[in-house]
Amino acid sequence: MASNYKQKQPAQKKQATTTKSNNPTQGKKESVITINRGLWLPILYGVLFSAFAFYMLAVKNADYLYAIQERSLFLYDSSFFDMTMVKPGALMTYLGCFFTQFFYHPWLGTTMLIVIWLITYFLTIKAFNLKGMYSVLALLPIGALLCSETILGYWIYYNKVHGYWFAPSLGLMINMLMIWVYRMTSEKNRWIDYSFIVLWCIIGYWATGWLGLLSTLIMALTNVTRTPKSRIIPILIAIACIVVTPIIAFQFYTQMRLCDAWLVGFPIFETETVDATRPWYPFVTLTICLLVLGAMSFARSPKTVLLKSKQALLLIALQIICVAGIVLCEFGADFDDYNYHAEFRIYRAIDENRWQDALEEVGAVPGDPTREILMLRDIALNRTGKIGDYMFKYNNMSKAPYVYDSLDVHMAQTNSPLVYLNYARLNFATRWCIENSVEHGFSYDSYKILTRCALVAGEYDLARKYINILKKTLYYKDWAEKYEPMIGNPKLIEESPELSFIAEYYRHFHNMLDSDEGLVEMYLLNYFSNTMNKDSKQLQETTLYFALQSKDIDKFWPRFFLYAHLHPGEPMPIHYQEAAYLYGHLEQKVDISQLPFDKERIVNRYAAFQQTSNKLVQQGKSPEEVGSYMKANYGDTFWWFYFFCRGLSSY
């Protein structure tokens, strides 16, 4: 029986090529097209796919890729390796984290990812015996992986799959290699066939998780062209291994739930209130494609194939459908919301103390920005000393983050540590760093913020701990060494433009941890607008502009006069003048007749503002229509903000 395991029929093939046809139309010439099995077409597909993938990732999503690596972690030490080995799929997770760090340079990380995809593409062609034009089918699995890279949106902040952006690609490459090896060896001896399936199910599950189980099933499916008796045994063995292997592994991996054992490493996106389906569509598509290719893979193909013209047209249509489908699906999966990408760029600029770059990004936002963008804007304006003159020069209307499902986005998970750090609410910055990291994993970004918090707070042992961790990284070692001399040296902290600004806040209020209830913006608004301080000009102005944003007249006046007292002889910022002039006319509790208001920019402009708005009201315009009309000429004033910027909600 073993000698019959691989059946050959050379005689039949020869006869098929020499037998004459009895077709009465034989004399007619029939239009045929020769399909060659050469490599030029697969190579062309690979080049086109690479160019498209590079554009979508390194060009169109460069800011997103940089943010990915900031929120990931890879350490060059044994403890990180041990930490990664706590679940099956450990090899692809560890390697996924390793390669993700190269998105520090988006073009470099993208190039590495494309190389992995190209290797996978050609292995898929070999593993499933795809020739000539049929090689386009090998693009479908890597096309699905390309879609998975850009489909996440705000799920990037709630993703719990470490190494997500490289791990499935590496896992698929490894499994395509093993399917090809199986194809080359399994026909030689059935016992090799059976042993290979069993061993790879065990090793593949440890190395690549769910992909190892999937490839085990695909190996069994490649037996469909054999006799019924020979093909049913590998399939039964594969199914038994797929069922039993995760159950046995569950006994050894304490951080794995049995209900998740068969999908370990499969990206699942869920929170306490949301279980998203769209982010895992690419992986479902990937699975279906591989199963179909596995069932079709062992169809024999000659060196050349002669197709009638209609058959050739159908094959050409297949090329067009596959290529167009990949392009359209990727554009559909690409989360290209402008505010989403602007948040990444502004966040990075704030983190790197590039205040003017951050403000330029804010100014370039079309339409209404998110509240996160406005909070980061105020930090940049505060750092440049321009907040009193420019806060309302920008669009202060806002909207909620765009999401394609019911994901409830909160700034506590997106930018709260950085915002709290810049206002020296160090306990809150530390709290949200730790809480988010425990839930979703520590990152370079979290360790950087924790380091700065510890330095400003004088907790030097903690600072040394975090710096030593960052020194074990590839791209943040220099960052850590820059801050290392500040440990135990308050003088260097005071000489640092970044940390001295934060330290000025920190030493003038109590750094107790109360509760923000997860609402970062509302907490800061309430905290600073209810704070009075005459010992720090910096802190005092912060209390003033937060009081201005609260639109609370009683809170504004004492902080306004304190600002004037602390800045004698200095020009009063224009927005503070606007608020004082407006409030003086609204309630007349304070005599403003002796205050030196700018006649052209305040007195005359306010009169024009009132005249125009009254005229529009008399014409029967609704408040919304009045606000829309007035915004063109007065949208850069506190007056417009006070009357027409309403109904805003934080998150």
What pLDDT, in 10s, does the model give residues 181-234?
Answer: 998 886 667 777 888 999 999 999 999 999 999 999 998 887 655 545 566 788
The percentage of the chain sitting over the pLDDT mark of 90, rounded to a whole number, equals 71
Distance separating alpha carbons of residues 612 and 633, to the nearest angstrom: 10
Is the distance from CB of 358 to CB of 602 less than 8 angstroms?
A: no
Distance separating alpha carbons of residues 177 and 212, to the nearest angstrom: 12
| Block residue for tokens 């090998």 | 138
Q: What is the length of the chain?
A: 651
For 327-431, list the strands marked E by DSSP.
none
The verdict on residue 87 lying in a domain is: yes
Averaged pLDDT, 301-324: 67
Helix (H) / strand (E) element for 270: namely strand 269-270
Q: What is the pLDDT of residues 524-563, one digit of tens each?
A: 999 999 999 999 999 999 999 999 999 999 999 999 999 9
Residue-number span of the structural domain to which 82 is assigned: 40-333
Q: Give yes or no: residues 160 and 194 share one domain.
A: yes
Q: Give yes or no: residues 191 and 115 share one domain.
A: yes
Q: What is the pLDDT of residues 50-63, one digit of tens each?
A: 999 999 999 999 99
Q: Give yes or no: residues 186 and 63 share one domain.
A: yes
The verdict on residue 156 lying in a domain is: yes
Distance separating alpha carbons of residues 32 and 510, to the nearest angstrom: 85
Say what angle helices 167-185 and 210-221 make with each other, to 10 degrees: 30
Distance separating alpha carbons of residues 141 and 143, to the nearest angstrom: 5
pTM of the predicted model as reported, rounded to 2 decimal places: 0.90
SS3 letters across 174-239: HHHHHHHHHHHHCCCCHHHHHHHHHHHHHHHHHHHCHHHHHHHHHHHHCCCCCCHHHHHHHHHHHH
| Block residue for tokens 């769209």 | 278
pLDDT of residue 190: 76
pLDDT of residue 37: 53
Q: Give yes or no: residues 347 and 259 share one domain.
A: no
Q: Give yes or no: residues 297 and 365 share one domain.
A: no
pLDDT of residue 189: 72
pLDDT of residue 354: 97
* Token digits of residue 356: 């003017």
pLDDT of residue 25: 41
State the amino acid at position 418 in one-letter form.
L
Work out whether strand 269-270 and strand 275-276 pair parallel, antiparallel, or are unpaired. antiparallel
Q: How many CA atoms lie within 13 A of 446 on its CB side?
A: 22
Tell me which DSSP letter residue 9 carries.
Answer: -
| Block residue for tokens 């708005």 | 613
Q: Taking Cα atoms as reference points, which of 499, 133, 486, 457 lies closest to residue 301? A: 133
For the chain, what is the domain count? 2
Q: Give yes or no: residues 411 and 462 share one domain.
A: yes
Q: Taking Cα atoms as reference points, which of 386, 416, 338 lies closest to residue 650? A: 416
| Block residue for tokens 């260097």 | 492
Sign of the Cα pseudo-torsion (300, 306, 307, 313, in order): positive
3-state secondary structure of 44: helix
Which is higher by pLDDT, 201 or 12? Answer: 201
Which among 469, 491, 506 is the end of a domain?
Answer: 506
3-state secondary structure of 119: helix
Q: Give yes or no: residues 178 and 224 share one domain.
A: yes
Q: Give yes or no: residues 357 and 388 share one domain.
A: yes
* Token digits of residue 235: 């399939």
Averaged pLDDT, 229-249: 85
Angle at 187 between CA 181 and CA 192, to 5 degrees: 70
pLDDT of residue 649: 84
The verdict on residue 294 lying in a domain is: yes
Which is higher by pLDDT, 234 or 172? Answer: 172
* Token digits of residue 406: 């019911």
Q: Output the CA–CA distances (angstroms, integers) from residue 311 to 34, 125, 206, 241, 523, in the order listed.
A: 11, 22, 44, 41, 68
Q: Give yes or no: residues 310 and 356 share one domain.
A: no
The verdict on residue 61 lying in a domain is: yes
Distance separating alpha carbons of residues 198 and 363, to the nearest angstrom: 60
* Token digits of residue 80: 């990180």
The verdict on residue 367 lying in a domain is: yes
Separation of CA 25 from chain center: 62
Distance separating alpha carbons of residues 627 and 632, to the nearest angstrom: 9
Q: Taking Cα atoms as reference points, which of 165, 66, 156 lies closest to residue 475? A: 66
Helix (H) / strand (E) element for 97: namely helix 90-100
The verdict on residue 607 lying in a domain is: no
Q: What is the pLDDT of residues 588-607, one digit of tens each?
A: 888 898 899 999 999 999 99
pLDDT of residue 304: 41
Q: Give yes or no: residues 308 and 381 share one domain.
A: no
| Block residue for tokens 């139309």 | 25
Distance separating alpha carbons of residues 314 and 144, to the nearest angstrom: 23
| Block residue for tokens 């000025």 | 504
Q: What is the pLDDT of residues 462-518, one digit of tens each?
A: 999 999 999 999 999 999 999 999 999 999 999 999 999 999 999 998 767 688 899
Which among 486, 506, 526 is the end of a domain?
Answer: 506
Q: Give yes or no: residues 48 and 76 share one domain.
A: yes
Q: Taking Cα atoms as reference points, which of 88, 292, 84 lies closest to residue 201? A: 88
pLDDT for residue 70 is more than 70: yes
pLDDT of residue 184: 84
Tell me which DSSP letter residue 56 carries.
Answer: I
SS3 letters across 433-496: HHHHHHHHCCCHHHHHHHHHHHHHHCCHHHHHHHHHHHCCCCCCHHHHHHHHHHCCCHHHHHHC
pLDDT for residue 15 is more than 70: no
Is the distance from CB of 87 to CB of 255 less than 8 angstroms?
A: yes
pLDDT for residue 176 is more than 90: yes
Q: Taking Cα atoms as reference points, which of 577, 565, 573, 576 lies closest to residue 602? A: 577
pLDDT of residue 230: 61
Which among 272, 306, 333 is the end of a domain?
Answer: 333
Separation of CA 184 from chain center: 39
Residue 7 binned pLDDT confidence (cut-offs 50, 70, 90): very low
Q: How many CB atoms lie within 10 A of CB 367?
A: 9
The verdict on residue 534 lying in a domain is: no
Number of H helices, E strands in the chain: 32, 4
The verdict on residue 531 lying in a domain is: no
The percentage of the chain sitting over the pLDDT mark of 70, rounded to a whole number, equals 90
Angle at 294 between CA 289 and CA 298, to 5 degrees: 135
Distance separating alpha carbons of residues 284 and 114, to the nearest angstrom: 21
Mean of the per-residue pLDDT values of the chain: 88
pLDDT of residue 250: 87
* Token digits of residue 205: 């599950």
**Lowest-pLDDT choice from 139-143, 267-271, 301-305:** 301-305
pLDDT of residue 132: 78
pLDDT of residue 121: 97
Distance separating alpha carbons of residues 630 and 619, to the nearest angstrom: 14
Taking the C-alpha atoms of 188, 190, 196 and 202 in order, what is their torsion angle to the nearest 10 degrees? 170
Helix (H) / strand (E) element for 304: namely strand 304-308
Q: Give yes or no: residues 181 and 211 share one domain.
A: yes
Q: How many CA atoms lie within 13 A of 231 on its CB side?
A: 11
Helix (H) / strand (E) element for 557: namely helix 553-566
